[in-house]
């Protein structure tokens, strides 16, 4: 499961793998620029800047585009603008086998970006996609007017303190895997992290002991490409105390001989830590036994799933949950944003604030009425 959302507008300019060589038609580039090439080391540097999940998603998009082109007798590369428009129209009307529904508008935006980026990777000028984007815009409007859930972004459900309390109650926190899962969820909530920010954490390298039992966690904010030291305080509720959960996990790992390195380790069904994983006869995963980003998301979805609570539960639920928990406690949105590594002008953070956040006592009309009912007294 890919936890991180692929933002088509952000990654459209990335140089990504094109379609497989055996599918690439022999069409020469027009007006070739003699300087339009990169040495191998530069290509590697560019590739290193592309998130793995993004690259994998784009490759799948292009494989499906090539298959459709083959069935309708159209050229894959360089694709004509009409080909891309027709393909998006086809996707809008064609249910997928897995879901029984067509792709949603957000995925179709990504597919357009995949086609454009793959053209660049193959040395072609990307096709004009104005027609294709109009197809998606019209599709999004149709779904919105019909109040179809597919028109809305598929956000992870917020895992606030109430959700975490229930999920933790279903864990056996006397076991190593239970301690890992509890620490992962509580720490993810406390530092408002993505799964891609949780998995890389190391003990003790990523942590600093502070006075009064606090911890400072050094987190790499992936989207902003910067490091942040996040202060984590002890919680008065022992069941929800992040500091306690992390220290219990660290002690348990030390008893297994693991005193430094990945904090969150793979643990198999028999309780073995860092067990080797094999796929098609080849070892996969971090050789140090570190949990993967998808593995961290699985911990959240599995743990909260046991409660029967409805929602889309991923590691991103922890990041959204911190926002919801903080707003419920009356925290200022600016303070929340700076703690969670958002830019002060972040639209994403505003998008995390649910409609319910402006209901009840926070309803502006309720606040106006309260003010009107208790006017300031005139000075005597």
What is the rounded CA–CA span in Å between residue 359 and residue 287? Answer: 49
Report the predicted TM-score, pTM, of the whole model to 2 decimal places: 0.69
Across the range 202-226, mean pLDDT stands at: 94
Q: E-assigned strands of the chain?
A: 202-203, 207-209, 215-221, 226-232, 261-262, 277-279, 282-284
Phi and psi angles of residue 52, each rounded to the nearest 5 degrees, phi first? -60, -40
Q: Can you give the pLDDT at residue 37? A: 60
What is the rounded CA–CA span in Å between residue 296 and residue 192? Answer: 14
Assess whether pLDDT exceeds 70 at residue 376.
Answer: no
Across the range 12-27, mean pLDDT stands at: 43
Which of the given ranges, 3-17, 34-48, 143-157, has the highest pLDDT on average?
A: 143-157
Across the range 275-290, mean pLDDT stands at: 76
Assess whether pLDDT exceeds 90 at residue 8.
Answer: no
Tally: H helices and E strands in the chain: 15, 7
Q: Can you give the pLDDT at residue 25? A: 43
Residue with tokens 């050789």: 287
Q: Is residue 295 within a helix (H) or strand (E), and if so which, with residue range?
A: helix 293-305
Assess whether pLDDT exceeds 50 at residue 88.
Answer: yes
For residue 204, say if its preceding peptide bond is cis, omega within 30 degrees of 0.
yes
Q: Can you give the pLDDT at residue 55? A: 58
Mean pLDDT across the chain = 83
């Amino acid at each position: 499961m890919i936890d991180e959302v692929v933002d088509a507008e952000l990654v459209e300019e990335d140089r990504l793998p094109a379609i497989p060589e055996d599918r690439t038609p022999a069409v020469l580039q027009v007006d070739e620029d003699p300087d339009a090439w990169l040495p191998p080391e530069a290509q590697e540097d560019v590739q290193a800047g592309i998130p793995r999940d993004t690259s994998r998603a784009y490759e799948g998009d292009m494989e499906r585009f090539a298959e459709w082109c083959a069935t309708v007798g159209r050229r894959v590369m360089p694709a004509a603008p009409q080909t891309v428009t027709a393909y998006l129209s086809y996707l809008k009307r064609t249910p997928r086998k897995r879901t029984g529904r067509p792709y949603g508008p957000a995925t179709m935006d990504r597919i357009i970006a995949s086609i454009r980026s793959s053209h660049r990777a193959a040395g072609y000028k990307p096709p004009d996609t104005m027609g294709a984007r109009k197809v998606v815009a019209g599709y999004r409007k149709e779904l919105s007017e019909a109040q179809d859930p597919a028109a809305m972004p598929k956000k992870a459900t917020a895992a606030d303190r109430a959700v975490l309390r229930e999920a933790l109650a279903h864990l056996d926190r006397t076991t190593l895997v239970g301690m890992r899962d509890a620490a992962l969820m509580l720490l993810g909530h406390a530092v408002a992290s993505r799964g891609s920010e949780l998995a890389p954490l190391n003990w003790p390298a990523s942590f600093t002991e502070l006075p009064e039992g606090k911890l400072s966690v050094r987190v790499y904010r992936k989207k902003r490409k910067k490091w942040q030291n996040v202060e984590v305080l002890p919680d008065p509720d022992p069941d929800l105390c992040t500091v306690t959960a992390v220290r219990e996990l660290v002690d348990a790992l030390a008893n297994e001989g693991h005193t430094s390195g990945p904090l969150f380790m793979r643990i198999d069904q028999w309780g073995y830590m860092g067990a080797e994983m094999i796929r098609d006869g080849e070892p996969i995963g971090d050789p140090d036994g570190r949990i993967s980003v998808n593995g961290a998301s699985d911990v959240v979805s599995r743990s909260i799933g046991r409660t029967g609570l409805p929602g889309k539960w991923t590691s991103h639920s922890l990041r959204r949950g911190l926002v919801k928990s903080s707003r419920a406690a009356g925290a200022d949105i600016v303070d929340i944003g700076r703690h969670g590594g958002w830019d002060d002008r972040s639209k994403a953070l505003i998008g995390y604030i649910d409609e319910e956040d402006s209901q009840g006592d926070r309803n502006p009309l309720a606040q106006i009425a309260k003010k009107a009912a208790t006017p300031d007294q005139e000075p005597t």
